[in-house]
Amino acid sequence: MNNTPAKKGFGTMEVFVTSISTILGAILFLRFGWAVGNLGLVKTLIIILLGHLVTIPTALAVAELSTNQKVLGGGAYFIISRSFGLNIGAAVGISLYFSQAVSVAFYIIAFSEAFAPVFDWLGANYGWHFTDIWRVRIVSLPTMALLAAVVLKRGANVGMKVLYFVAALIGVAIIMFLMGKPAEEPLFNAVNKGIADPEDFFIVLAIIFPAFTGLAAGLGLSGELKDPQKSIPRGTLIATFVGMIVYVIVAYKLAISATPYELSSDYLIMSKIAIWGPIIPIGLAAASLSSAIGSILVAPRTLQAIGADDIFKSQRLNRFFAQTKGSNEEPQNANLASIIIAFVVVFMGSIDSVAEIISMFFMITYGSICLVSLLENFAADPSYRPTFHTRWPLSLIGAFSSFWFMFQMNQLYAIYAVIAMSIIYIIVSRGNKENGFAKLFRGVIFQLSRQLQIMAQRTSKEDKNEEWRPFAICISEDTFGAHSGFTLLSWISHRYGFGTYIHYIKGLLNKDTTNESEKVLDNLIQMADDEKNKMYLDTIISPSYTSAIAQSIQLTGISGKSNNLILFDYNLGQKESLEHVINNYPMIHDAGFDICVLNTNIKGFSNKKEVQIWITPDDYEDANLMILLAYIITGHPDWKRPRIKINALYREAELKEKQQELKTMISTGRIPISENNIEVVALKEDGNVKRLIQKKSTNADLVILGFQKKNITDKGVEIFSGYDSLCNVLFVNSNRKKEIK
């Protein structure tokens, strides 16, 4: 990406002049009286207020953003693309460029309307009558050609000199208008209401809004500024506030100087109020010309910046638009493209239609700038250190107002604008893996996560009777061998719980083990991405498995709540892994953890169709946790149409009673287990339980059994052995009895 700025020669004054001459432009002289006539003074002042609900927060956001980073060529496009990423920046930037290029034609068409008195005189005296479209073409085409020649030949410096001259004419025209007297005598009937059948409020807002968009013109000069971080905030803020004050004063002057009908029907009513009438067409011509110059200076620089960022698929096209010429590094090819677009649009319809189109894209641009400021403030990134600070509620108001006004102004145009930007985004994103949102939203997600974790922790301390859900951790040193524990934890944490998978590295914490842990974590993340699971991944370096467990169970989970379940996994024959469980059981149990031990054979999880739960007299306390885990595990998409079967071993005298209790519990708890899949088996005094389980559950994909503290103490490793013919066995020990409600 090449964003080398052009020769730096402009300062705050140039930003102010470019902005204010666009703000006090054609709309002020040509359509503002029409707005007052349609709506009356009060509603017109509301339009000014609403327009500045967008432009003032945007100006403040621009001031803030430009003092945090050096704004290079492209102005608004540069700010948005460096915050949201090039994909989103391109979607907004290309749309913004077209609106800027169309604005050139818009102002040239407005310039031609300043010659309406001349055409009227020719018709009255010589009989030379022209249609409205030919009036526009006769004046606008030669004017556009002259402007194009100046820009292509002499560039921005000459344009700026002309801008100073026409800005002075605008000032004189406004002063002479304010010094004028009413057309006949002071009339106040336009103060509270307009004409009898006025235009819709938001249509008027859409047509008037481009009058308030001058700050984008000043911002577009960022590549030519000596000190953008100083000139942009000062120039745009001063121009925005001065423009707002002038519009309020002019609105009041119009309302007391003519009737609503005169204001709405005579686009040049200001000439009848000013102390010297001809100054208004002259001011209109100057305003239109200055705005056209401002737009023709800004639009090519936006396109040049887009080309320099290699946004287009064709590198030849990127180089063409990024190319500069001369010592001032003028965007010659981008100038040419903008001029061609402007010539084409001159042949279009009325000013009002073009104004609505421009409003849509400026609303999107301004809303995006406010959104960047809002998210930057919320993300609280230490690297975000602007010397000028706005308030995030103002940025929120600006962003919301922009997008809401779009759809209030013209729903169809708003939808077209969104569709156009979406198409651009899709095209630009093809083959570009950059995640446009991630760049800025990473900090926002971090802040949201931080706040939610704190809130969850506070809530859990206050509510001790909350329903159980798994906050599970798995500590394994054989992740990349048979990673059944990795898979099972991903099922547990898919929807209903949170899972933290920790790979154990034995050793002391030093440079070598740290490097190893970083590589392991990268591999874990890659493995998780491949399997699309939703676990948090980590590593732990510790001299012993016991110390690793002790460290892990003391940590708060990523959810902001304490972990409550630990999972161990081992393959057949790995007695050492079982020794870890047995030796550390008292510590884990005393810490309040539920304990799960997964025994898997070489087949791993294959069909993922059936889970069988075995409830014996020794593990009634584990039954509810076993059923909940079966329900949670089979809720993962990997399990296609799963079946959960419960086998309960009871003494013969209790069979009917216990079977009914099980059915009632399953029914009231809304666990999707059919009554046909609940089997109660009589427990014989001399019966071999392990043999029975192996016989009846040979085809099950997962068998869930319970175990108790006394089993660990009395039998040790033996309680986990003797199930060699089964695929996968999950041994479950519930620290406290769980309720199925």
- Please, are residues 485 and 580 in contact by the beta-carbon 8 Å criterion? no
Q: What is the 3-state secondary structure (H, E, C) of 595-659?
A: EEEEEECCCCCCCCCEEEEEECHHHHHHHHHHHHHHHHHCCCCCCCCCEEEEEEEECHHHHHHHH
Rounded Cα distance between 643 and 672, Å, is 9
Shared domain for 546 and 500, answered yes or no, is yes
Residue 504 included in any domain: yes
Shared domain for 401 and 261, answered yes or no, is yes
Give CA separation, 293 vs 116, 154, 286, 288, 353, in Å.
22, 13, 10, 9, 21
Q: What's the mean per-residue pLDDT of the chain?
A: 78
Shared domain for 485 and 336, answered yes or no, is no
pLDDT by residue (tens digit) across 406-421?
A: 888 788 888 888 888 8
pLDDT at 126: 77
pLDDT at 5: 40
b/e sequence 389-408, b meaning 16+ C-beta within 10 Å: ebebebbbbbbbbbbebbbb
β pairing state of 565-571 and 536-542: unpaired
Tokens of 375: 């998210």
Of 176 and 383, which is predicted with more confidence?
Answer: 176
Q: How many CB atoms lie within 10 A of CB 482?
A: 18
Task: Average the pLDDT over each of 78-87, 219-228, 523-532 and give the range with the smallest value.
Answer: 219-228
pLDDT at 246: 93
pLDDT above 60 (res 681): yes
Burial class from Cβ neighbours inside 10 Å (0-12, 13-18, 19+) for residue 74 reads: buried
pLDDT above 60 (res 583): yes
Q: What share of the chain has pLDDT > 90, as a percent?
A: 5
pLDDT at 186: 47
Rounded Cα distance between 278 and 256, Å, is 21
Q: What is the 3-state secondary structure (H, E, C) of 135-157?
A: HHHHHHHHHHHHHHHHHHHHCHH
Shared domain for 133 and 35, answered yes or no, is yes
- Domain that includes residue 134, residue range: 12-434
| Backbone φ and ψ of 111, nearest 5° | -60, -40
**Measured in Å, how far apart are the chain's first and last C-alpha atoms?**
59
Rounded Cα distance between 456 and 558, Å, is 10
pLDDT by residue (tens digit) across 340-357?
A: 888 887 776 556 666 677
b/e sequence 495-507, b meaning 16+ C-beta within 10 Å: ebbbbbbbbbbee
Which residue is listed with tokens 């103490």? 713
Residue 3 included in any domain: no
The DSSP H or E segment spanning 693 is helix 689-696
Tokens of 282: 């002259």
Shared domain for 92 and 194, answered yes or no, is yes
R_g (Cα) of the chain, nearest Å: 37
Last residue within a domain, chosen from 559, 592, 625: 592
pLDDT above 60 (res 665): yes
Tokens of 668: 């009231």
CA-nearest of 695, 671, 712 to 614 is: 695
Which residue is listed with tokens 């008027």? 204
pLDDT-based confidence at 572, cuts 50/70/90? low
Shared domain for 683 and 561, answered yes or no, is no
Tokens of 229: 């971080």
pLDDT above 60 (res 426): yes
Shared domain for 562 and 630, answered yes or no, is no
The sign of the CA dihedral 324, 330, 332, 336 is positive
Q: What is the CATH number of the domain that holds 487?
A: 3.40.50
How does DSSP assign 209-269, residue by residue? GGGG-THHHHHTTGGGBS-HHHHHHHHHHHHHHHHHHHHHHHHHHHHTTS-HHHHHH-TTT
Give CA separation, 90 vs 78, 378, 422, 569, 601, in Å.
10, 24, 11, 49, 53
Q: What is the CATH number of the domain that holds 291?
A: 1.20.1740.10
Shared domain for 623 and 691, answered yes or no, is yes
Rounded Cα distance between 81 and 87, Å, is 8
pLDDT-based confidence at 637, cuts 50/70/90? confident
Last residue within a domain, chosen from 434, 457, 486: 434
pLDDT at 3: 44
Tokens of 186: 């002071």
The sign of the CA dihedral 709, 712, 718, 723 is positive
Total number of domains in the chain: 3
pLDDT at 245: 93
pLDDT by residue (tens digit) across 195-214?
A: 777 888 888 888 888 777 76
β pairing state of 594-600 and 728-733: antiparallel
Residue 441 included in any domain: no
Quick one: average pLDDT of 127-147? 76
pLDDT-based confidence at 627, cuts 50/70/90? confident
pLDDT-based confidence at 439, cuts 50/70/90? low
Q: Which residues share a beta bridge with 594?
A: 565
Tell me the residue length of the chain: 741
pLDDT above 80 (res 462): no
Residue 460 included in any domain: no
Q: How many CB atoms lie within 10 A of CB 255?
A: 25
Residue 451 included in any domain: no
Shared domain for 521 and 580, answered yes or no, is yes
pLDDT above 90 (res 25): no
pLDDT above 60 (res 302): yes
Shared domain for 543 and 628, answered yes or no, is no
Shared domain for 569 and 623, answered yes or no, is no
Q: What is the CATH number of the domain that holds 627?
A: 3.40.50.620
pLDDT above 70 (res 224): no
Q: Which residues share a beta bridge with 542?
A: 506
pLDDT by residue (tens digit) across 160-197?
A: 667 778 788 888 999 999 998 765 554 445 455 667 77
The DSSP H or E segment spanning 41 is helix 32-66
The DSSP H or E segment spanning 728 is strand 728-733
Last residue within a domain, chosen from 558, 592, 626: 592
Strands in 594-600's sheet, in edge-to-edge order, are 536-542, 498-506, 471-476, 565-571, 594-600, 728-733, 702-706, 610-615, 643-650, 678-682
pLDDT above 50 (res 446): yes
Q: What share of the chain has pLDDT > 70, as a percent?
A: 78
Burial class from Cβ neighbours inside 10 Å (0-12, 13-18, 19+) for residue 317 reads: middle
**Strand ranges inside 343-497, DSSP E:** 471-476
Residue 457 included in any domain: no
Of 684 and 734, which is predicted with more confidence?
Answer: 734
pLDDT by residue (tens digit) across 321-341?
A: 888 776 666 787 888 888 888
Rounded Cα distance between 612 and 147, Å, is 82
Rounded Cα distance between 501 and 485, Å, is 9
Residue 448 included in any domain: no
Shared domain for 626 and 582, answered yes or no, is no
pLDDT at 7: 47
pLDDT-based confidence at 55, cuts 50/70/90? confident
pLDDT by residue (tens digit) across 511-534?
A: 999 999 899 888 888 888 777 777
Residue 2 included in any domain: no
